[in-house]
Structure 1
Amino acid sequence: MIITHLQEDGTAERWSTDDLSAIEAADIEKAMGDVPWRGIEMRLQAQDATALRAVVWAFRRRTEPDLDFATFDIPGWRRRIRARLERAEIDEALNNVMREALAKSEDSTIDVLTPHLRKLAEDPDDVDAALDDLGKGHLTRRHRDSGD
């Protein structure tokens, strides 16, 4: 997941949760009350303030090792910080849904998931690219918009 933090001066810091070390991920889990990483990912997708703050805190500790989570704050967090899906996460979600859809011979499950993925994607075009890669190009936004 990509975490973007808009600084007060207008510049943006961006981090990928894929760049966290195992120790940093464990520190985030512990800081959040022993929430397993999968739960943290779900909370990041939901734009949960504590999960977002915890990830930024972990990256900031690389340069400020004594930074305390209990007092670390991000004023105006709703407008300044967000989490978005990376292409690999989109691929994983669509692959999981694709297996389920193939078992049922239907595309409706993918139809339900794609708007959600586009909303959370760092680059919404990655969703169409992932659908193309899965052989489901007929479900892409551009295909539907063209009326084919």
Structure 2
Amino acid sequence: MIITHTLSDGTVEELSTDDLTAREAADIEAAMGGSQWQRIEALLQLQDPTALRAVVWIFRRREQADLKFDDFDIPGWRRRLKARITRPEIEDALSNLMLQAISSKSEDTQIDLLAPHLRKLAQDPADVDAALDGLGKGHLVKRRQDSED
């Protein structure tokens, strides 16, 4: 997951949760009251201010070792922080959906429902279409494009 942080000078900083160490992830879990990492990822997708702040805090703590989570804040967080998912995360979500939908034979319908959400969260919305192509579901992209015309 990529957290974009627009600094006060307008510079956009990208922080990837893939760059966290296991210890840093555990420190985020502890700062978030013991939440498990899967819950934190879900909160990030929901643009939760505490989860977003925790990720930025842990990166800042690399430069300022004594920085306490309770003392760290980001004014204007709503316009300055965004969580976005990466292509591998999109592929994982679609693969999991396919596995769950196989038994019900409704994967196209479920993908049609999930794809707009994935596009909204994606760092690059085109990654959703590429991931669908990779799963052999490129016809859903064509169908969506045809309905927009």
With the shorter chain as reference, the TM-score category is over 0.9
TM-score w.r.t. structure 1 length? 0.95
Q: 2:120 & 2:104 partners in 1: Cα distance?
A: 26
Number of the residue aligned with 1:88: 88
Number of the residue aligned with 2:118: 117
Number of the residue aligned with 1:38: 38
Q: 1:143 & 1:14 partners in 2: Cα distance?
A: 33
> Is it true that 1:65 corresponds to 2:53 in the alignment?
no
Could you tell me the percent identity over the aligned residues?
63
Number of matched residues? Answer: 146
Shift of 1:143: 4.5
* Higher helix content, 1 or 2: 2
| Amino acid in the other structure paired with 1:124 | P
Shift of 1:102: 2.3
Which of 95-104 and 48-57 deviates more? 95-104
Q: 1:74 & 1:94 partners in 2: Cα distance?
A: 33
> Structure 2, unaligned stretches of length 5 or more?
none
Structure 1 consecutive aligned stretches of length 4 or more whose deviation exceeds 4 Å: none
RMSD: 1.1
Q: 2:78 & 2:49 partners in 1: Cα distance?
A: 8
Shift of 1:47: 0.3
Tell me the secondary structure at the aligned position of residue 4 of structure 2: strand
> Is it true that 1:134 corresponds to 2:135 in the alignment?
yes
> Is it true that 1:9 corresponds to 2:13 in the alignment?
no
